[in-house]
Amino acid sequence: KQEVTQIPAALSVPEGENLVLNCSFTDSAIYNLQWFRQDPGKGLTSLLLIQSSQREQTSGRLNASLDKSSGRSTLYIAASQPGDSATYLCAVLIQGAQKLVFGQGTRLTINP
Amino acid sequence: GAVVSQHPSWVICKSGTSVKIECRSLDFQATTMFWYRQFPKQSLMLMATSNEGSKATYEQGVEKDKFLINHASLTLSTLTVTSAHPEDSSFYICSAPTLRGVADIQYFGAGTRLSVL
């Protein structure tokens, strides 16, 4: 059974810092890994998607990496801003079942 | 990107009533849609897979008679919470996949917050 874990569960940093969020998964048989952002009481916004054959994806100040063999992904946020405050979820798409399995999320707070 | 619309965004109901939530893919067809439930400060848990023209597939522990799913067309899936009780209060989110390359990418609705009094 695929399990996805995110560390840390919560993170609070001053504005301007670079930070890394971690995601690990137990089964490497995945199609892709996706990072989402969720604001309180809202739905999900897709940030980055990495196909299983890829190593990383970048969008603006965000960079996500994938090491499928070790079952790890990181989301790097550069020059953090208060508007980055949200919960960040990673999810893997399981091969065969086409199901998304989510981690518990990291609640990020950027302090002005 | 593809758009998934979910309605209503927020509903309050009395205990014992039934509530229907709609999930629509606006610019693509989806033979499969997914329904998730999210408790406060927790992650999304897959409840069921909605299949167009056939029965939904429920995850272990999800009551089929409590959460009725209908996928009547290629763009619409509905989740009905029957005889709702306060413990059913939660955030419900749907998603619909569309093929991009070798695998699907799922697009999510904005979610429905259900409060049962």
SS (HEC) of chain A: CCCEEEECCEEEEECCCCEEEEEEECCCCEEEEEEEEECCCCCEEEEEEEECCCCEEEECCEEEEEECCCCEEEEEECCCCHHHCEEEEEEEEECCCCCEEECCCEEEEEEC
Contacts with B4 (C-beta within 8 Å, 6 or more apart), sequence order: B23, B24, B25, B26, B94, B95, B96, B107, B108, B109
Partner A, chain B 51-90, Cβ-Cβ below 8 Å = none
> Is B114 in CB contact (< 8 Å) with chain A?
no
Pairwise CB contact (< 8 Å): B95 & A100: yes
**Distance set, CA A6 to CA A10, A35, B42 (Å):** 10, 11, 12
Q: Please report, in tens digits, the pLDDT of each residue of chain B (117 residues total).
A: 678 999 999 999 999 999 999 999 998 898 899 999 998 878 899 999 999 988 999 999 999 999 999 998 999 999 999 999 999 999 999 999 887 666 677 889 999 999 999
Nearest-neighbour CA in chain A from B18: distance (Å): 22
Q: Please report, in tens digits, the pLDDT of each residue of chain A (112 residues total).
A: 899 999 999 999 999 999 999 999 999 989 899 999 999 888 898 899 999 999 999 999 999 999 999 999 999 999 999 999 999 999 998 887 778 899 999 999 999 9
Pairwise CB contact (< 8 Å): B49 & A99: yes
The chain A residue lying nearest B5, using CA atoms, is A43
Pairwise CB contact (< 8 Å): B107 & A46: yes
Most distant CA atoms of chain B, gap in Å: 45
| Residues facing residue A18 across a β-bridge | none
Nearest-neighbour CA in chain B from A13: distance (Å): 19
CA B7, distance to chain mean position in Å, is 10
